[in-house]
Amino acid sequence: MTLTLHYAPDNASLIVRLALEELDLPYETQLVDRAIRAQEGAEYRAINPHGLIPALETPDGAIFETGAILTWLEGRAPGRLAPLPDDPRRGDYLKWLFFISNTLQPTARMIFYPEKYCPGHGADLRAHMCAEMVQHLARVEAAVEGPFFGGDAPSCIDLYLPPLLRWCALYPSGDTDWFDPARFPALMQLCRAIEARPAALRAAAAEGLGPAPFSAPAPPNPPEGSAT
Protein backbone atom coordinates (compact mmCIF):
# COMPACT_ATOMS: atom_id res chain seq x y z
CA MET A 1 0.00 0.00 0.00
CA THR A 2 1.47 3.32 -1.10
CA LEU A 3 0.60 6.31 1.06
CA THR A 4 1.76 9.90 0.55
CA LEU A 5 1.25 12.47 3.29
CA HIS A 6 1.08 16.04 2.05
CA TYR A 7 2.31 17.98 5.03
CA ALA A 8 3.81 21.13 6.47
CA PRO A 9 5.83 20.95 9.69
CA ASP A 10 3.88 21.54 12.88
CA ASN A 11 0.57 21.68 11.01
CA ALA A 12 -2.46 19.40 11.29
CA SER A 13 -0.53 16.89 9.19
CA LEU A 14 1.46 16.18 12.38
CA ILE A 15 -1.60 14.41 13.76
CA VAL A 16 -1.74 12.15 10.73
CA ARG A 17 2.02 11.53 10.86
CA LEU A 18 1.64 10.38 14.46
CA ALA A 19 -1.00 7.86 13.41
CA LEU A 20 1.06 6.58 10.49
CA GLU A 21 4.06 6.12 12.77
CA GLU A 22 2.00 4.50 15.52
CA LEU A 23 0.58 1.98 13.05
CA ASP A 24 4.01 1.36 11.44
CA LEU A 25 2.52 2.02 8.02
CA PRO A 26 5.02 2.81 5.27
CA TYR A 27 4.49 6.24 3.79
CA GLU A 28 6.17 9.01 1.87
CA THR A 29 5.93 12.73 2.58
CA GLN A 30 5.41 15.59 0.18
CA LEU A 31 6.09 19.07 1.54
CA VAL A 32 3.41 21.68 1.04
CA ASP A 33 5.52 24.84 1.24
CA ARG A 34 3.53 27.36 3.25
CA ALA A 35 6.24 29.97 2.73
CA ILE A 36 5.04 30.28 -0.88
CA ARG A 37 1.41 29.42 -0.02
CA ALA A 38 1.63 26.20 -2.00
CA GLN A 39 -1.54 25.00 -0.28
CA GLU A 40 -3.47 27.55 -2.32
CA GLY A 41 -1.96 26.55 -5.67
CA ALA A 42 -3.65 24.57 -8.41
CA GLU A 43 -1.36 21.55 -7.96
CA TYR A 44 -2.27 21.05 -4.32
CA ARG A 45 -5.93 21.95 -4.79
CA ALA A 46 -6.15 19.09 -7.28
CA ILE A 47 -5.50 16.86 -4.25
CA ASN A 48 -7.41 18.86 -1.62
CA PRO A 49 -9.76 21.37 -3.25
CA HIS A 50 -10.17 23.24 0.04
CA GLY A 51 -6.48 24.16 0.11
CA LEU A 52 -5.97 22.92 3.66
CA ILE A 53 -3.25 20.71 5.12
CA PRO A 54 -3.14 17.69 5.39
CA ALA A 55 -4.08 15.39 2.58
CA LEU A 56 -3.25 11.71 2.33
CA GLU A 57 -2.99 9.99 -1.02
CA THR A 58 -4.07 6.35 -0.76
CA PRO A 59 -4.89 3.48 -3.12
CA ASP A 60 -8.53 4.56 -2.62
CA GLY A 61 -7.77 8.12 -3.72
CA ALA A 62 -6.88 11.29 -1.86
CA ILE A 63 -8.41 11.86 1.58
CA PHE A 64 -8.59 15.20 3.33
CA GLU A 65 -9.96 16.37 6.70
CA THR A 66 -7.95 15.19 9.69
CA GLY A 67 -10.78 13.23 11.31
CA ALA A 68 -11.59 11.44 8.06
CA ILE A 69 -7.95 10.50 7.51
CA LEU A 70 -7.64 9.14 11.04
CA THR A 71 -10.81 7.09 10.65
CA TRP A 72 -9.54 5.66 7.37
CA LEU A 73 -6.18 4.80 8.92
CA GLU A 74 -7.59 3.06 11.98
CA GLY A 75 -9.64 0.96 9.59
CA ARG A 76 -6.40 -0.36 8.03
CA ALA A 77 -5.42 -1.88 11.39
CA PRO A 78 -8.68 -2.72 13.20
CA GLY A 79 -8.48 -2.45 16.95
CA ARG A 80 -5.14 -0.67 17.05
CA LEU A 81 -6.17 2.97 17.39
CA ALA A 82 -9.91 2.74 17.95
CA PRO A 83 -12.45 0.38 19.44
CA LEU A 84 -13.86 -2.09 16.92
CA PRO A 85 -17.34 -1.36 15.49
CA ASP A 86 -19.00 -3.91 17.80
CA ASP A 87 -17.13 -2.71 20.91
CA PRO A 88 -19.48 -0.90 23.34
CA ARG A 89 -16.82 1.81 23.71
CA ARG A 90 -17.06 2.70 20.01
CA GLY A 91 -19.81 5.27 20.52
CA ASP A 92 -17.88 7.19 23.15
CA TYR A 93 -14.79 7.11 20.97
CA LEU A 94 -16.64 8.49 17.94
CA LYS A 95 -18.47 11.25 19.77
CA TRP A 96 -15.25 12.65 21.22
CA LEU A 97 -13.27 12.20 18.01
CA PHE A 98 -15.87 14.21 16.13
CA PHE A 99 -16.07 16.82 18.87
CA ILE A 100 -12.33 17.33 18.55
CA SER A 101 -12.48 17.41 14.76
CA ASN A 102 -15.66 19.48 14.36
CA THR A 103 -15.42 21.82 17.35
CA LEU A 104 -12.00 21.88 19.02
CA GLN A 105 -9.85 22.16 15.90
CA PRO A 106 -12.04 24.82 14.21
CA THR A 107 -12.01 26.84 17.43
CA ALA A 108 -8.22 26.68 17.41
CA ARG A 109 -8.13 27.87 13.80
CA MET A 110 -10.26 30.89 14.68
CA ILE A 111 -7.85 31.71 17.52
CA PHE A 112 -4.87 31.48 15.17
CA TYR A 113 -6.44 33.21 12.14
CA PRO A 114 -9.27 35.43 13.45
CA GLU A 115 -9.10 38.00 10.65
CA LYS A 116 -9.67 35.26 8.11
CA TYR A 117 -12.99 34.39 9.73
CA CYS A 118 -14.13 37.86 10.80
CA PRO A 119 -12.33 40.61 8.84
CA GLY A 120 -12.14 43.85 10.76
CA HIS A 121 -13.24 42.23 14.01
CA GLY A 122 -10.52 39.62 14.48
CA ALA A 123 -9.56 40.75 17.98
CA ASP A 124 -13.12 40.37 19.24
CA LEU A 125 -13.52 36.97 17.62
CA ARG A 126 -10.22 35.76 19.01
CA ALA A 127 -11.07 36.83 22.57
CA HIS A 128 -14.39 35.03 22.35
CA MET A 129 -12.89 31.85 20.89
CA CYS A 130 -10.11 31.76 23.51
CA ALA A 131 -12.80 31.71 26.20
CA GLU A 132 -14.69 29.03 24.26
CA MET A 133 -11.56 26.92 23.94
CA VAL A 134 -10.95 26.98 27.69
CA GLN A 135 -14.47 25.64 28.22
CA HIS A 136 -14.05 23.00 25.51
CA LEU A 137 -10.77 21.81 27.00
CA ALA A 138 -12.28 21.66 30.49
CA ARG A 139 -14.93 19.26 29.19
CA VAL A 140 -12.33 17.12 27.45
CA GLU A 141 -10.20 17.17 30.61
CA ALA A 142 -13.13 15.80 32.60
CA ALA A 143 -13.55 12.94 30.13
CA VAL A 144 -9.99 11.59 30.34
CA GLU A 145 -10.10 8.12 31.92
CA GLY A 146 -6.47 7.11 32.30
CA PRO A 147 -2.99 7.90 31.07
CA PHE A 148 -4.69 8.00 27.67
CA PHE A 149 -8.10 9.46 26.93
CA GLY A 150 -9.97 6.16 27.03
CA GLY A 151 -7.81 4.19 29.47
CA ASP A 152 -4.56 2.29 29.10
CA ALA A 153 -4.10 2.17 25.32
CA PRO A 154 -3.73 5.10 22.89
CA SER A 155 -6.33 5.85 20.24
CA CYS A 156 -6.61 8.40 17.46
CA ILE A 157 -8.04 10.78 20.05
CA ASP A 158 -4.78 10.58 21.98
CA LEU A 159 -2.83 11.48 18.86
CA TYR A 160 -5.17 14.36 18.03
CA LEU A 161 -5.18 16.22 21.34
CA PRO A 162 -1.46 16.80 22.09
CA PRO A 163 -0.74 18.73 18.88
CA LEU A 164 -3.79 20.93 19.50
CA LEU A 165 -2.54 21.68 23.02
CA ARG A 166 0.92 22.36 21.64
CA TRP A 167 -0.44 24.95 19.24
CA CYS A 168 -2.49 26.63 21.95
CA ALA A 169 0.76 27.14 23.87
CA LEU A 170 2.73 28.45 20.88
CA TYR A 171 0.53 30.30 18.40
CA PRO A 172 0.27 33.13 17.65
CA SER A 173 3.74 33.80 18.99
CA GLY A 174 3.74 36.09 22.02
CA ASP A 175 -0.04 36.05 22.44
CA THR A 176 -0.87 32.82 24.27
CA ASP A 177 -1.42 34.07 27.83
CA TRP A 178 -5.01 32.82 27.73
CA PHE A 179 -3.81 29.20 27.75
CA ASP A 180 -2.73 27.81 31.14
CA PRO A 181 -1.64 24.15 30.89
CA ALA A 182 -1.83 23.82 34.69
CA ARG A 183 -5.62 23.93 34.40
CA PHE A 184 -5.58 20.64 32.50
CA PRO A 185 -3.44 18.12 34.43
CA ALA A 186 -5.01 15.04 32.82
CA LEU A 187 -4.39 16.41 29.34
CA MET A 188 -0.81 17.27 30.26
CA GLN A 189 -0.35 13.70 31.50
CA LEU A 190 -1.65 12.54 28.14
CA CYS A 191 0.84 14.81 26.39
CA ARG A 192 3.71 13.29 28.35
CA ALA A 193 2.50 9.76 27.65
CA ILE A 194 2.27 10.37 23.90
CA GLU A 195 5.56 12.23 23.47
CA ALA A 196 7.42 9.36 25.15
CA ARG A 197 6.23 6.84 22.56
CA PRO A 198 8.62 5.83 19.76
CA ALA A 199 6.12 6.97 17.12
CA ALA A 200 6.02 10.48 18.56
CA LEU A 201 9.80 10.60 18.91
CA ARG A 202 10.13 9.83 15.20
CA ALA A 203 7.52 12.41 14.25
CA ALA A 204 9.12 15.07 16.43
CA ALA A 205 12.53 14.41 14.92
CA ALA A 206 11.13 14.57 11.38
CA GLU A 207 9.52 17.96 11.99
CA GLY A 208 12.06 19.53 14.37
CA LEU A 209 9.72 19.80 17.35
CA GLY A 210 12.22 19.32 20.17
CA PRO A 211 12.47 16.79 23.03
CA ALA A 212 9.16 17.56 24.77
CA PRO A 213 6.95 18.74 21.91
CA PHE A 214 3.63 18.49 23.75
CA SER A 215 4.31 18.91 27.46
CA ALA A 216 6.89 21.73 27.10
CA PRO A 217 6.55 22.92 23.51
CA ALA A 218 9.11 25.15 21.83
CA PRO A 219 8.92 26.73 18.38
CA PRO A 220 9.77 24.19 15.68
CA ASN A 221 13.06 24.02 13.85
CA PRO A 222 12.05 21.92 10.87
CA PRO A 223 14.59 20.45 8.46
CA GLU A 224 12.43 21.63 5.56
CA GLY A 225 9.49 23.92 5.04
CA SER A 226 7.74 26.39 7.29
CA ALA A 227 5.15 25.90 10.01
CA THR A 228 3.42 29.20 9.17
For range 94-123, the mean pLDDT = 97
Q: What percent of the chain has pLDDT over 90?
A: 98
**CATH code, domain with 174:** 1.20.1050.10
pLDDT confidence of residue 135: 98
In a domain? residue 228: no
104 and 68 within one domain: no
42 and 14 within one domain: yes
Nearest to 195 by CA among 137, 139, 154, 143: 154
Domain-terminating residue out of 52, 76, 100:
76
163 and 101 within one domain: yes
pLDDT tens digits, residue range 113-165?
A: 999 999 999 999 999 999 999 999 999 999 999 999 999 999 999 999 999 99
Asked whether residue 45 carries a pLDDT value surpassing 90, the answer given is yes
Nearest to 16 by CA among 60, 93, 61, 74: 74
pLDDT tens digits, residue range 59-86?
A: 999 999 999 999 999 999 999 999 999 9
Compute how many other C-beta atoms are within 10 angstroms of the C-beta atom of residue 140.
22
In a domain? residue 204: no
pLDDT confidence of residue 96: 98
For range 193-219, the mean pLDDT = 98
Asked whether residue 21 carries a pLDDT value surpassing 90, the answer given is yes
Domain limits for position 97: 90-198
Q: Is residue 71 within 8 Å of 96, Cβ to Cβ?
A: no
189 and 101 within one domain: yes
Asked whether residue 168 carries a pLDDT value surpassing 90, the answer given is yes
How many structural domains compose the chain? Answer: 2
> Per-residue b/e over 27-51, b at no fewer than 16 CB within 10 Å?
bebebbebeeebbeeeebeebbeeb
For range 14-43, the mean pLDDT = 97
116 and 45 within one domain: no
Asked whether residue 1 carries a pLDDT value surpassing 80, the answer given is no
Asked whether residue 102 carries a pLDDT value surpassing 80, the answer given is yes
Domain-terminating residue out of 76, 101, 136:
76
194 and 94 within one domain: yes
184 and 97 within one domain: yes
175 and 114 within one domain: yes
* Separation CA 183–CA 142 (nearest Å): 11
Share the mean pLDDT of the chain: 97
Partnered with residue 58 across adjacent β-strands are 61
Domain-terminating residue out of 76, 108, 134:
76
**CATH code, domain with 19:** 3.40.30.10
64 and 139 within one domain: no
pLDDT band at 18 (very low <50, low <70, confident <90, very high): very high
